[in-house]
């Protein structure tokens, strides 16, 4: 199971603009100088390289910081530079630990303030110290760019979506949950693009998937990984409700039972993928779960504006007429335990009308619909009925029993 911890690098960079302003304001209220005042450790070589201080003119230097005292009688510049290194304490930004398998999903680590010597101020005091008096070492605090409260304010539940697996066979239930486990704990940075196929290939093993029914050209057949498309569909709907950008998505050749039409997401290694992009300004955190009845995807990230909500809607445009039955000779003898002779028939599939549907996202503010956006216009093709017929010639004088298979004609309007 994927555990994503301490995503400080990209998270901090995305917070710099807002967090720095807040941090500086906080220190101004405390009456403390900010990091931008005076020389900083980035210029720590000023004492030697710019020859600001003349070691020969300084015979005794007595410095104090709090209860610590420092006395230098020779090699002043080098000793001061070493002292600055010693007194330098970097600031530590607040951090978040995201572990969806723990009871406490998000743990926030407090920030800490750093310290460094105000070089310009110290040099000025040393140069103006004609009486060898004790000098208080001037320091200023280094302000962390991100505080705990900044992180806490940026991580809320944006969306959740669940689908039912209660009627699925055990193998299929396992596959759905196993595929979704690849996304459990995933953190997606702003503007990062994620492929469903790439993620499950990286996080799960193909040999661990079990045999279950999949849709192939309008038929349900037994195949490895049956149920993965329900995992991608569940994730897809959670992403829509979280207002993420969908870069690539495909519908099945048949409508599925676990979501409304136009909101399914078929995936296949060689044919179709679900690809999405985090278009928010901060990371999103994905949590998945499942039991014997349902699977769920939750997406956390920066909170929506108060009162904002997204819903989905399917509009059925029309049915797509089917073409009736087609007869397929059983030349391979696949069904010769049921049919052998010409004129003997076995129904393999009933014809089924197709469907044209449109999917919409509905945006609400305080319960009022403020925008409707079309996100999918899909066609589920009509399916021909399939009847197998035996291929052997009748023996002389042989009479077949009455055919029980009823042929279905093409519907009136052909799409």
Which tokens sit at 7? Answer: 């995503």
Residues 337 and 365 both lie in one domain: yes
Residues 139 and 12 both lie in one domain: yes
224-242: average pLDDT: 93
pLDDT in tens, 359-375: 999 999 999 999 999 99
Q: How many separate domains does the chain show?
A: 3
Please identify, among 304, 338, 355, the residue that sits at the C-terminal boundary of a domain.
304
- Residue 16 pLDDT level (bands cut at 50, 70, 90): very low
Please identify, among 152, 181, 197, the residue that sits at the C-terminal boundary of a domain.
152
Confidence (pLDDT) at 217: 53
- Residue 127 pLDDT level (bands cut at 50, 70, 90): confident
Residues 260 and 321 both lie in one domain: no
pLDDT at 58 over 50: yes
Q: Are 390 and 336 in contact (CB under 8 A)?
A: yes
Residues 9 and 145 both lie in one domain: yes
Lowest-pLDDT range of 95-109, 122-136, 340-354: 122-136
Which tokens sit at 139? Answer: 């320091």
Strand, coil or helix: 351: coil
pLDDT in tens, 304-334: 999 999 999 999 999 999 999 999 999 999 9
Confidence (pLDDT) at 5: 36
Residues 216 and 347 both lie in one domain: no
240-253: average pLDDT: 96
203-229: average pLDDT: 74
Of the candidates 206, 192, 149, 187, the residue with the CA atom closest to the CA atom of residue 6: 187
- Residue 216 pLDDT level (bands cut at 50, 70, 90): low
Residues 258 and 331 both lie in one domain: no
Q: Could you give the angle at which helices 196-203 and 228-241 cross, rounded to 10 degrees?
A: 120
Residues 73 and 94 both lie in one domain: yes
pLDDT at 215 over 90: no
Confidence (pLDDT) at 132: 80
Cα end-to-end distance, the chain, whole Å: 47
pLDDT at 8 over 50: no
Of the candidates 106, 361, 358, the residue with the CA atom closest to the CA atom of residue 244: 361
Confidence (pLDDT) at 78: 85
3-state secondary structure 32-82: CCCCCCCCCHHHCCHHHHCCCCCHHHCCCEEEEECCEEEEECCCHHHHHHH
pLDDT in tens, 74-104: 888 888 889 999 999 999 999 999 999 999 9
pLDDT at 219 over 60: no
What rounded mean pLDDT belongs to the chain?
A: 85
Q: Are 278 and 244 in contact (CB under 8 A)?
A: yes
Residue with tokens 């599939």: 349
Which tokens sit at 309? Answer: 């909500």
pLDDT at 204 over 80: yes
pLDDT at 14 over 50: no
Confidence (pLDDT) at 79: 87
Higher per-residue confidence, 271 vs 181: 181
Residues 413 and 316 both lie in one domain: yes
Residues 184 and 275 both lie in one domain: yes
Containing domain of residue 77, as a range?
4-152
Which tokens sit at 22? Answer: 């807040």
Residues 294 and 310 both lie in one domain: no
Residues 299 and 379 both lie in one domain: no
pLDDT at 23 over 90: no
Which tokens sit at 307? Answer: 């009162």
């Amino acid at each position: 199971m994927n555990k994503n911890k301490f995503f400080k690098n990209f998270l901090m960079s995305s917070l710099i603009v807002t967090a720095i302003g807040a941090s500086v304001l906080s220190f101004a209220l405390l009456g403390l100088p900010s990091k931008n005042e005076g020389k900083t450790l980035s210029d720590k070589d000023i004492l030697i390289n710019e020859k600001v201080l003349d070691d020969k003119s300084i015979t005794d230097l007595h410095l104090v910081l709090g209860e610590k005292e420092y006395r230098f009688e020779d090699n002043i510049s080098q000793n001061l530079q070493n002292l600055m290194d010693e007194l330098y304490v970097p600031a530590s930004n607040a951090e978040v630990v995201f572990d969806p398998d723990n009871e406490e999903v998000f743990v926030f680590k407090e920030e800490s303030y750093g310290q460094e010597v105000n070089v310009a101020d110290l040099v000025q005091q040393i140069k103006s110290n004609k009486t060898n008096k004790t000098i208080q070492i001037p320091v200023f605090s280094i302000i962390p760019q991100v505080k705990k409260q900044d992180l806490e304010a940026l991580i809320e539940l944006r969306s959740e979506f669940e689908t039912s697996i209660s009627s699925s066979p055990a193998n299929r239930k396992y596959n759905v949950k196993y595929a979704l486990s690849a996304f459990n704990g995933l953190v997606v940075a702003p503007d990062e693009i994620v492929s469903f196929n790439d993620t499950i290939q990286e996080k799960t093993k193909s040999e661990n998937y079990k045999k279950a029914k999949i849709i192939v050209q309008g038929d349900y057949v037994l195949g490895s990984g049956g149920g993965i498309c329900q995992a991608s569909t569940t994730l897809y709907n959670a992403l829509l409700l979280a207002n993420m950008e969908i870069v690539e998505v495909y519908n099945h050749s048949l409508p599925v039972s676990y979501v409304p039409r136009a909101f399914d997401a078929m995936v296949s290694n060689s044919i179709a993928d679900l690809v999405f992009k985090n278009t928010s300004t901060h990371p999103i955190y994905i949590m998945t779960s499942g039991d014997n009845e349902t699977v769920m995807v939750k997406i956390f990230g920066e909170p929506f504006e108060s009162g904002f909500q997204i819903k989905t809607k399917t509009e059925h445009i029309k049915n797509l007429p089917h073409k009736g039955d087609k007869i397929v000779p059983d030349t391979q003898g696949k069904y010769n335990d049921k049919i052998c002779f010409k004129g003997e028939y076995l129904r393999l599939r009933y014809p089924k009308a197709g469907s044209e549907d449109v999917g919409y996202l509905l945006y609400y503010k305080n319960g009022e619909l403020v925008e409707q956006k079309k996100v999918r216009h899909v066609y589920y093709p009509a399916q021909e009925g399939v009847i197998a017929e035996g291929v052997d010639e009748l023996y002389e004088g042989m009479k077949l029993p009455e055919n029980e298979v009823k042929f279905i004609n093409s519907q009136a309007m052909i799409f």
